[in-house]
Every structure is written in C-alpha cells, then in structure tokens.
Structure 1
Amino acid sequence: MTEIKNIFCIGRNYEEHIKELHNKKSERPVVFSKPTHALAVADGSIYDLPANQGAIHYETEIVIKIARDFEKGKTADQLVDEMAIGLDLTLRDIQSELKQQGHPWLLAKGFPNSAILSEFFAFPGVEACKRAVFSLQLNGEKVQEGCMVDMIFDLNEQIDYIGTHFGLKKGDIIFTGTPSGVGPLKDGDQLLLQWKNEEVGSCTVHLA
C-alpha cells in the first residue's frame, strides 16, 4: 500500500445516515482522525477486532489520497490522484458514551484494524465519481450502497476545510463519510467492498 501520512475522517456527511443514528446535521464538516496503526488492507485477510468493548459497526466510505500539498483554491481534481473504498470501524457503544460526555471519538475510532482499505486505484475525477456507486456486502448480502452525489459536504469542501484548519500534504487520506445501512459485526463475518460492479477488496473479521 502507498505510504500514508495522516488519516482524516468526515462524520455525518449523508442525510440518511444522520437520521438512522438520530444525530443532528452540522453546518460545517465534522472532522476526526485515526492513527496510522489503525490501517489494514482488504486483501482477503482475517483481522482481529476487540470483542469486549461493545458493538463494532461497519461504515463503508470512499477514501481519497492527496497527491500534492494543499494550496488554497486547489480543487479535488487537482489534488487527488488515487482513491479506495474503506471501512471506518466504530466501537458504537463507546462512541455513544463519548458523545454524551462531549469527549473526542478517538477511543471509539482509533483501535487496531479500524481503518480497512481496498488497494488504491486511479481517481477518475469528481464528476465521474458522482455517477458511480460504492457498496458493501456482508456475508453475501448488500448492506450499504452510496453515491458521492449525496454527500452533504462534497470533496472540494472537505479538502478546503481540512486543508485550512489542519493542513493537508501529499500522502494524507480522507475517509469521506458513510451512507445509511451501518450495523454491527459478529465473529466470522465476511465483507466485500465494491466500486460500481467491481470487487475491490475483501476481509473477514475475528472478534477476540
């Protein structure tokens, strides 16, 4: 996998996902991060996940990779060279507790193997992405499907916001938000990530 520097994530970026978790829509992007040791590749491997910290939810997302350092006014088409389909795994019970306390989400989002990525492939441009769908199959059943056109904050808005407030450099990646259909994983679940009708990654989870 290409070397990755920083992992930025956008929360609450699809209307139906906001509704299913009974959250409130934000007027600006909700940004959180994951440590790089959360990374794993969806290459058919089996990944260990914590079994004693409550429900672990899958969240399927388009992930973009920054090809050159951020400059104000540069667009996604100018700054992004590759993309992947990713799984942002979440310790949902812990996240709920953290939200109630007004604390950051890192404990719920940053555990090992919580950022699973397909292999990166060429980014076809924003407009082409708006005409395509990405999805997740869980044990052979499609459980999530999304399209970038339904994002609340599009790629240009995400890049500008993150780049302005945190900086963005070559090698950084952005998980761009998940559509509705998130749910819990159980031991032995098999996951298949898809872009359009192409299989781009798979893995199996082991709760230990």
Structure 2
Amino acid sequence: MDIRNIYCIGRNYADHARELGNAIPDKPILFSKPTHSLTIANGQMLEFPSNRGEIHHELEIVLHIGKPYEKGISLEELVDVMALGIDFTLRDEQNELKKKGHPWLRAKGFKHAAVVTDFWSFPGEETCKATDFSLLIHDQVVQKGNIQQMLFSFEQMVEEVGEAFGLGEGDLLFTGTPEGVGPIQSGDQLSLFWGTERKGHFSVRM
C-alpha cells in the first residue's frame, strides 16, 4: 500500500486534553508526520531513542483515504479501509517546543513514530461506535476508547483536513487518542485491539 501523506488530529478526546493540562479545542488541531516515520506492527522489535526524554504512546484509529477529496463527498465514499495506530510522541521535546511556540514535528516525526496495524474494510462511522479499541502493554490495558468520546467526528475531520490541505488516495488520517497516554520502556510488549481482536503487536527496545 503506497502512503502519500500522514495527517493527525490533536486533542480530539476531551479527557486526553485534560490529562495533559491542555485546553479543549473548539476546532480540530492539525499536524502531520513524515512517511519515513511509518511502520507496520507485525510482531517485530522496534528501536526507539533512549536519549531524548520520555516517549509516550497515543493509541488512535487510522483512516485510509481511497479517492480524492471533493467538497460534499460522503465519508463512506472517501475512506476505504481503516487500522489502529500509535502516534508516538517525544513528550519532553514536545513540551519544550510548545513553550517556544515552535512546530511539533521534531517530537512527532522520528523513526517509528507512526505505527499502524494491517488495514481492514471501513464499515462506516456508525458501525465503529459499537466497538471499543484498546492498547495493552504486557497484557494490561493502558488505553481504551470509543469514537463516541471524540470531540470531532470522522466526517468533521476529513472535511477539515480536506479543505485545509486536500486529501488524496493513499493519505492517512490519525484521528486522536483517548486518555491513558504514558511513557514506554525498553522491553515493553504492545498489542492493539479492536474489540476482542488483536490487530497488531510489537516490542520496544531503547
């Protein structure tokens, strides 16, 4: 699967915004990641930097765009498949960048900063509301969410990104993380679940 652009939505779950002491936004916060940060979670060991402060996991639903965005296009026409993903964040670096008013890219775009599972057919936004998604570390649930908790719907997000930047076939959209983000440690084993189905897993080395 050829990936063109990786767009992300920040603070799309109110409880996550609160846990980091951030204001709840009144419109989607947009940022991006380089495609070089993308990795498929297929059971492998992934290397992360050990000298750049804490690295936090942020579990997300990831939408894959199947055709070019046009104003008025329906979500089901635009999105063909979906996955689970983790938006890894160098939290200490991000906090320093925010203090200086600088972009977050250094904290969001490092190698393996965008991990995704294999993709499956997108069933539509309403159907997704029936299923929780979760992240387990060493078989313990650390994050669990449902899209009913989102501030902005899939429909709102794709319209916002489509109008701001355009969306085309092969683009990815990370849709925000629920509460429970925290640091990873060397030796951690991470599993991403859609309902009771494990969609991907990997280990961490730092």
TM-score (norm 2): 0.99
Matched residue SS, 1:158: helix
Instruction: Identify the residue that residue 124 of structure 1 maps to in structure 2.
Output: 123
Q: Quick one: distance in 2 between partners of 1:19 and 1:138? A: 23
Q: Quick one: distance in 2 between partners of 1:46 and 1:136? A: 17
1:58-81 per-residue CA deviation (whole Å, 9 max, x = no partner) reads 000000000000000112112101
Instruction: Identify the residue that residue 84 of structure 2 maps to in structure 1.
Output: 85
1:180-206 per-residue CA deviation (whole Å, 9 max, x = no partner) reads 000000001000000011000000011
Matched residue SS, 1:87: strand
Matched residue SS, 1:82: strand
Alignment of 1:14-25 (within 5 A): 14-25=13-24
1:158-179 per-residue CA deviation (whole Å, 9 max, x = no partner) reads 0001000101001000000000
Instruction: Identify the residue that residue 74 of structure 1 maps to in structure 2.
Output: 73
Q: Quick one: distance in 2 between partners of 1:176 and 1:125? A: 14
Matched residue SS, 2:143: strand
Instruction: Identify the residue that residue 171 of structure 1 maps to in structure 2.
Output: 170
Instruction: Identify the residue that residue 184 of structure 1 maps to in structure 2.
Output: 183
Instruction: Identify the residue that residue 100 of structure 2 maps to in structure 1.
Output: 101
Matched, 1:199 2:193: no
Q: Quick one: distance in 2 between partners of 1:187 and 1:10? A: 27
Q: Quick one: distance in 1 between partners of 2:99 and 2:74? A: 36
How many correspondences in the alignment?
206
Q: CA deviation at 1:94?
A: 0.3
2:110 maps to amino acid:
F
Gap regions ≥5 residues in structure 2: none
Matched residue SS, 1:77: helix
Matched residue SS, 1:63: strand
2:180 maps to amino acid:
G
Q: Quick one: distance in 2 between partners of 1:76 and 1:147? A: 18
Q: Quick one: distance in 2 between partners of 1:110 and 1:145? A: 24
1:35-73 per-residue CA deviation (whole Å, 9 max, x = no partner) reads 001011110010100100000000000000000000001
Q: Quick one: distance in 2 between partners of 1:160 and 1:135? A: 26
Q: Quick one: distance in 1 between partners of 2:138 and 2:2? A: 30
Q: Quick one: distance in 2 between partners of 1:69 and 1:171? A: 9
TM-score (norm 1): 0.98
2:187 maps to amino acid:
G
Q: Quick one: distance in 2 between partners of 1:138 and 1:39? A: 20
Instruction: Identify the residue that residue 112 of structure 1 maps to in structure 2.
Output: 111
Alignment of 1:51-66 (within 5 A): 51-66=50-65
Q: Quick one: distance in 2 between partners of 1:42 and 1:139? A: 16
Q: Quick one: distance in 2 between partners of 1:74 and 1:99? A: 35
